[in-house]
Amino acid sequence: MSPERLARITNMLNYRQPDLTVFLEQVHKAHNLAAIVRTADAVGVSDVHATWENKTTQISGNTATGSQNWVNLHSHETLEDAVKALRAQGMQIIATNLSDSAIDFREVDYTKPTAILMGQEKHGISPEALALADQDVIIPMVGMCQSLNVSVASALILYEAQRQRELAGMYNGECRLPEEEAHRILFEGGHPIFTQLCKERNLPYPPLDDKGQIDASDDWWLAVRSSVKSLKTK
């Protein structure tokens, strides 16, 4: 791993916000998914949650420009499973919805652990999901249209969350990710060839030194060399 690569990945890790996420309910258009993941990466969101109507839906790498490699996408079988996972992390759930109880999205305190719930492109958020949310929010609009594209709406709310968190000192350059997760991201981003070998041969990711270079035991190197020889003889 080059010093430049190490610095770039480390800087990204130091601004990740593990207690801020997006929850996508049945969002199915690939370009919207990719745009949301791209914005999530841009503001330091490390995880996106989703439920799917069509499980073959995929994120377009062209639109996401590689952001999908840096953001964990968690798929849930049911709405209830997704909400349970978010509640286990102490998250408040904020839902975009035009209703009498909705408040301006900028009035929410996003310095709290927060999941931003976005609904399916055509029908929006389901009544079941709205019932599980803590607060409805709206994005004020004074034109003829009453809604924005889901990826645009996500971006507006995420950047408001970033603004509030920056003012609160939550982007202070100190890594808030669990040590094991930060190591995984750094290793996979800095050593893609060895990452592939580890996955193929079920080997653990080895330690890295302060320059981002592999600092593994002799046994690990022996296992890697054996794996390479085995692949060459096939």
Is residue 148 a known part of a binding site? yes
- Per-residue pLDDT in tens (0 to 9) along the chain, 234 residues: 899 999 999 999 999 999 999 999 988 888 889 999 999 999 999 999 999 876 555 554 444 446 678 999 999 999 999 999 999 999 999 998 888 888 999 999 999 999 999 987 777 788 898 899 999 999 998 887 877 889 999 999 999 999 999 999 999 989 999 999 999 999 999 999 999 989 988 899 999 999 999 999 999 998 888 766 555 544
The residue ranges of every structural domain in the chain are 17-167, 179-232
Question: Angle 218-232/192-201 helices, nearest 10 degrees?
Answer: 80
What single-letter amino acid sits at 156? L
Domain boundaries 17-167, CATH class: alpha beta
Is residue 96 a known part of a binding site? yes
pTM for the whole structure: 0.85
Is residue 21 a known part of a binding site? no
Q: Is the dihedral of CA 214, 219, 221, 223 positive or negative?
A: negative
